Chains A and B, each alone.
Chain A
């Protein structure tokens, strides 16, 4: 149902109805922002990435294949942008300093200490593990959807995800969280 609605919005947008794109922004800015935020743990960076993702989506809308889910296609752009962003950050040699010094202060819902610890633990994962944990645990995507987004085989997704979990458990255990 959602998929059909999204495809309709895309068609309307391609027909020149830009209100339809606004609707797509309304629907997906939060998950895209969250994906970027979990990846960078920096609000401003997440905003920048989200902005770029939607601009690219807008520009490439005609290449969207409606046999796939729109959000999977959008996440694909979001993942690529997040990874490119980190690479650019690394180029400037500011990545670690920024990621480890900035934490979102507004994010106080739930247990803030736990959230902070999990954010820091995620940062200790290498990016290709981190993105798998984010897509699986925070975005609730299936192996198949993740495989499409990351251009991997499902079996590769599974084996990397399971390895990522093992590393994450170890990191969290070191931090005294999740007596895993």
Chain B
């Protein structure tokens, strides 16, 4: 996978030195990031990291205190109308009129973006079919399930065929089937060349679908790169040790720390299943050292393996916060 997908020219989203405070709370503390044209970028971060604030600034809903944001070259502060004409927003809460039918919502939003009535109706029917909502178009949105509401909200954001789509936690609160459905839709948009920036708390989603991941923590980007690059930051491999006796996990971790001269914090402990993990900086040599150390202390090992780190582990290493 290419590092930053871009068809040359200006990137679709450029964020430079953005600072935003709400009273005493600094939500964004000098954020820089770039999303190449046609890329699907994930903004990953714990709750309160500033993800929503950044999305709102990009979508012209909030103004940065300092710094500059450009969408397709348009400055969000100086040219908000141009930005709005080219982006679609799927916010954290569905931007729909609950009282109106699905179709009325799509047509209303389409017409507010400048489509004529006939164009809006056609586009609404098209999107309803794409998102499996054709049968629900003549029902009030308040009768929709959470997944249907999300899909209709996404469809509403797509009425004007925006070049850039910004989504704030699009899959939060969805059941696995709805999440799959939504991701399939986003994959379709990506294939059509839509640039997307989405926030998510689901690391495995970012891992599977994003071209680039930006990790936001306490208002700063602490890491950017492809999922593979981020995982490499934790060390290329992780040694995983499954103990014979789960109850010996803590003893085993302390023994390893002592014999391998590691700070105890570097060893992940899952007491329930008796599993330890640590960065295997020397690959198989680390594995051998682990085996020797545990044998010396007479701790029984059921399984010993090297594997790729998960994005979870990368995230923990980068932010110090479990996602």
A and B: interacting chains: no
Q: State the A residues within 8 Å of B (CB).
A: none
Q: State the B residues within 8 Å of A (CB).
A: none
